[in-house]
Amino acid sequence: MPELDSPQRQAPDSLMLTGFWYRALPADRVHRHRLEKAMLLEIPLVVGRDRAGRPFALRDACPHRGMPLHCGKFDGENLECSYHGWTFDVHDGQCQLIPSLTADQDLKVDRIYAGSYPCEEQDGFVWVYIPEPGPQGAGFSKPEEASEPAPVIEKFTDKYKLAYLSAGMPVSIDHGIIGLMDPAHGPFVHQAWWWRSRHSIHEKKKNFEPIPNGFRMSAHTPSSNSAPYRLLRLYAAADSITTTIDFVLPNVRTEIIRAGKYWFSSLTTVTPITRSQCRIDVVAAWNIFRWLPFGPELLKFVFAKFVEQDRRTMELQAEGLKHNPHLMLIDDADRPAKWYFQLKAAHLEAKRTGGEMKHPMAGAVTLRWRS
């Protein structure tokens, strides 16, 4: 994609990337002996926990005649479909029993599978791996393996607190993600008397560098009007505080702030639910305020405000996007959004050709904007 001085027209493709881990549900919503519904990349899932507490995820459709499996009976190990009683192992989806078969009918039951997905619990969420779409022939394929474990939040001490926040956004994954990395909306969307007003706008200059599958805002002293920074400022000298923000495909933003022995680490994802809906999940871990009873609540309050402001904004934006207007991205404020689209295109191209992914950034870049 050429870099032009004039604004570039952009039409997000809203393609949802397969071959990655996605957050399905908060872990505290998934209980033993109960089945939950979830949707990822337009794939309906039934999610639960076995007797030992290990989570699982199956496609929420019986391979026999498509009955949703969440309507079935679950004994902590196997799930029985509510239509004809076919029974499946919840972890690998393998069929265990077809009640209608007579003793002399030798249909190979164990060759039938309900679609199952690799599933992991990590930092308060159940993650599900969505593999590349396999060859047709559903019902006879063994589950895919994930090539790597689900993302984890980096932690710097043994003791820490963890909290999460989720909000559904009625926009495509692309708008969700570029909204997340957009540096210019802050003074307009995130105003609050205890926070800042649009009069606090000032020029910013940040260095970015390419990293595998993404880009990094290099370690720097955070801008004086960012949330965790203001809180950390109570604990450490301003010049000892550094923050690093990474974005990596398909949807992960990590932010690490360190201030002497204190740290704050977050992993935010924007998860495609359907083509026109996504969900933002912020999970944060920190070792500040551990001794302060209201510390976590304060932090949650600040983030809940922000996420709600973003959610409300995207709800309104969805109205404007309904009839496919032409859109544009400008330099430098929208450059991260351009990188996101370029990374996605490069990833898809590498998949198509089977070659190495060509990173869209040649090297480190300095961006300037006012916010």
Footprint of ligand FES on this chain (CB under 6 A)?
62, 64-65, 67, 81, 83-84, 86
Backbone angles phi, psi at 306, to 5 degrees: -60, -50
Question: Closest approach of Cβ 301 to ligand FES, in Å?
Answer: 46
Closer of 62 and 178 to ligand FES (Cβ): 62
Amino acid at 93: G
**Residue 83 touches which member of Fe ion, ligand FES, none, C-beta under 5-8 Å by kind:** ligand FES
Piece in contact with Fe ion (CB under 5 A), picked from 40-48, 51-59, 109-117, 308-316: 308-316
- Closest to 266 measured CA to CA, from 245, 296, 280: 245
Among 60, 174, 281, 310, binds Fe ion (CB under 5 A): 310
Please check whether residue 182 is in contact with residue 193, taking contact to mean a CB–CB distance below 8 angstroms: no
**Residue 196 touches which member of ligand FES, Fe ion, none, C-beta under 5-8 Å by kind:** none
Q: Measured between alpha carbons, how far is residue 357 from residues 14, 341, 350 in Å? A: 20, 14, 5
Q: How far is it, in rounded angstroms, from Cα 100 to Cα 88? A: 15
Question: Closest approach of Cβ 137 to ligand FES, in Å?
Answer: 18
DSSP of 313-359: HHHHHHHHHTT---EEE-TTTTHHHHHHHHHHHHHHHHHHHTS----
Q: How far is it, in rounded angstroms, from Cα 69 to Cα 79? A: 8
Amino acid at 25: L
Assigned token pair, 16: 């949802």
* Count of CB atoms situated within 10 Å of the CB of 163: 16
Piece in contact with Fe ion (CB under 5 A), picked from 42-50, 92-100, 306-314, 350-358: 306-314
Question: Closest approach of Cβ 112 to ligand FES, in Å?
Answer: 10
* Count of CB atoms situated within 10 Å of the CB of 148: 8
**Residue 235 touches which member of Fe ion, ligand FES, none, C-beta under 5-8 Å by kind:** none
Closer of 110 and 154 to ligand FES (Cβ): 110
Angle (nearest 5°) at CA 25 between 22 and 30? 135
Helix (H) or strand (E) holding 301: helix 295-321
Closer of 218 and 313 to Fe ion (Cβ): 313
Question: Closest approach of Cβ 190 to Fe ion, in Å?
Answer: 6
Closer of 66 and 76 to ligand FES (Cβ): 66
Closer of 34 and 84 to ligand FES (Cβ): 84
**Residue 310 touches which member of Fe ion, ligand FES, none, C-beta under 5-8 Å by kind:** Fe ion
Question: Closest approach of Cβ 64 to ligand FES, in Å?
Answer: 3
Closer of 224 and 240 to Fe ion (Cβ): 224
Assigned token pair, 209: 């560098």
Residue 334 binds Fe ion (CB under 5 A): no
Closer of 206 and 359 to Fe ion (Cβ): 206
Output the residue with the shortest Cβ distance to Fe ion.
310
Residue 116 φ/ψ region, left for φ over 0, alpha for ψ in the -120 to 50 degree band, beta for the rest: beta
Positions in the binding site for Fe ion (CB under 5 A): 310
